[in-house]
Amino acid sequence: MAIEQVYDTTMFPGTSNLSQPSGDDDLEVALAGGPTTTDLSATQGAAELDELVAIAAQRSRLDHRESVLLAEIAESGICDAVHGHTTNMWFADRTKQARKSASDRVRIAQELHTRYEPLADALEAGLVGWQHVGVFHRATNSRNWRDMAELLPGLINLAQVAGFERWSQEVRGIAQRLDQNGGYDPATDPTNNYLHLVPTINGITYVSGQLVGELALTIKKLIDGETDRVLTRYRSDAEASGGEVPVPSRAQACAEALGEMLDRGSGVPDGSGKLPEPEIVVILNDQSGELTDDDGNHLSPEILRFIIAAGLIRPLEVAGSGDPLRMGRTLRYANRHQRRALMTRDGGCIFPGCDRPASWCDAHHVDEWDDNGPTDINNLGLLCRHHHRVTHRPGWTMTRTAQPPTTQPNDPNTADPDQVRFRWRTPTGRLIDSQRHHQRSHPTAA
């Protein structure tokens, strides 16, 4: 298949049809898979410029080598067997990068060396960069990847004469056209709907997502209508107050509109006649007197007054070390009060290097329930499902231990017998100390 066959009609308004003359001889030759006339000697000149070009070429070679290693390591499963981590998580932890970024690199590396060897060779030769590889990966899917693989020689040649943005646009356009030719309509695929809410320690929650089809149309119309009503109310208040009440931007009004719609919706019973019960945990530290929520955000008096008026509060008193007090014992499984206490103490999965939030975790019995282990806070630790399974593997043991000591004076990691910490011993005898709130007990932990 040739690229010209895909571009039999114009893809987007303002985008040239690549099957028609574009006035760019090099571009047309590249699309046909032929040699280009780019004069690379133009990059020569000052020593600094030459050095930058050399660095870029070296970066491509390093990216290629890294992708080879990641693909091999992921295939072998060595990270899971030795460290108890998935390749993605281990790579993110050891290279100090975001888990999503590390996961993307692992996934792209596996795909690159199993499906797109010509692209891998071009990366090693410096003909394309890792950004090109990422664009190609995001443009392909289970429906069009074989056809896209056939077009790689032409696309690699195109990268030699087209700027990165133009090249990216063409790749995405070709991939979309191949999808449409296969009868796929992304607007009818419910898997294209997603929403992410990411809270941060400063009290800000980032919202991102994508909506398609009927759901996109419905939600947009509802929010737009409510936003108009919010703005109308603010304008009326501004007029009545002589300008004392400011009129917000439409973006702010849109956020408030969403909140008001959800608040009204929470007053409508579900199919079983129950109302949603939003629950906000307010944590009082008995030594500092500080009030925080369960994400560690400081709660000002203004916010606390609103919470008292609008939400159901479950106070939880903790010691200065962060350990919950007076939570008592329950039966086989941790109840909601104990899970809340574990969320406050552990903050998420306690396996070092894991960033899974508390809501994704199981309450694991360190002394097993079947071996008369109590369902008590000191015997429970939050583990994500993966590390819960790792802990139950043959040869792995988990025990409770005092916090590891340090040699630094006034270090918060100094041993404290009242703090609950845990330790794993691997089949090879290696010791791994637990973490809290995604922070290790000490820098040498696994």
* Domain ranges across the chain: 3-186, 195-265, 279-318, 337-440
pLDDT of 89-99, one tens digit each?
A: 999 999 999 88
pLDDT at 318 over 70: no
What is the pLDDT confidence band of residue 20, given thresholds at 50, 70 and 90? very low
A 10 A CB-CB count for 220 gives: 11
More confident residue, 318 or 326: 318
What is the pLDDT confidence band of residue 245, given thresholds at 50, 70 and 90? confident
pLDDT of 194-217, one tens digit each?
A: 999 887 766 788 899 999 988 999
HSE-up (13 A, CA, CB side) for residue 41? 1
Question: Which pLDDT belongs to residue 310?
Answer: 57
What is the pLDDT confidence band of residue 128, given thresholds at 50, 70 and 90? very high
Question: Which pLDDT belongs to residue 17?
Answer: 43
pLDDT of 256-311, one tens digit each?
A: 999 889 878 877 777 777 766 666 677 777 677 777 776 677 777 767 766 665 55
pLDDT at 35 over 70: no
pLDDT of 354-397, one tens digit each?
A: 988 888 888 888 888 777 777 777 888 999 988 988 888 888 99
pLDDT at 152 over 90: yes
The answer to whether 154 and 3 have CB atoms below 8 angstroms apart is yes
pLDDT at 316 over 70: no
Which of 64-73, 184-193, 331-340 has the weakest average pLDDT?
331-340
More confident residue, 99 or 105: 105
The answer to whether 366 and 373 have CB atoms below 8 angstroms apart is yes
